[in-house]
Amino acid sequence: MSELAPGASTAGQRILLVEDSDVVRMLTVEVLEELDYRVIEAGEAQQALQVLRSDEHIDLLMTDIGLPGMSGQELAVAARQLRPDLKVLYASGYAESVEIDKSEPASRTSIIGKPFSLDALRDKVQSMLGN
């Protein structure tokens, strides 16, 4: 495992992580917190929507695409109705076959394949959050 170094300005940035697998969610939270991000966890889309309806500041929504019930893509649409400028990072074991809105700039919407390396996660999140 390589050494993870936080970006220059990651402290305090908040990521809403939506992942139905407890193990994947726990490991992803661990990595993001090591990078000095503040992580809010949700095991399913409805929990995430509760957070998004609150006053909680969110810099990035990171969601699994294959959530039970409401998919990650459906969640992102609902999330952007509440917060139009929200950045979304999709995670999927089938990233190469997932269609994301190509009209969105890469700085607002992106995808990372699962399983992802720690370095790939760090680089993707830092590029989306501008650090």
Domain annotation covers residue 9: no
Indicate the number of domains in the chain. Answer: 1
Tell whether 46 is covered by a domain: yes
Q: Other C-beta atoms within 10 Å of 89: how many? A: 23
Q: Look at residue 1 in the predicted model and tell me its pLDDT.
A: 43
Question: Global pTM?
Answer: 0.87
CATH of the domain at 36: 3.40.50.2300
Residue 23: is it exposed, middle or buried by C-beta count within 10 angstroms (0-12/13-18/19+)? exposed
**Pairing mode of beta strands 38-42, 87-92:** unpaired
Tokens of 86: 């929200």
Inside any domain, residue 123: yes
Tell me the pLDDT tens digit for each residue of 50-78. 999 999 999 999 999 999 999 999 999 99
Provide the 8-state DSSP code for 101: -
In a domain, residue 61? The reply is yes
Which structural domain, as residue segments, surrounds residue 56?
Answer: 14-95+104-129
In a domain, 2, yes or no: no
Residue 105 has pLDDT above 80, yes or no: no
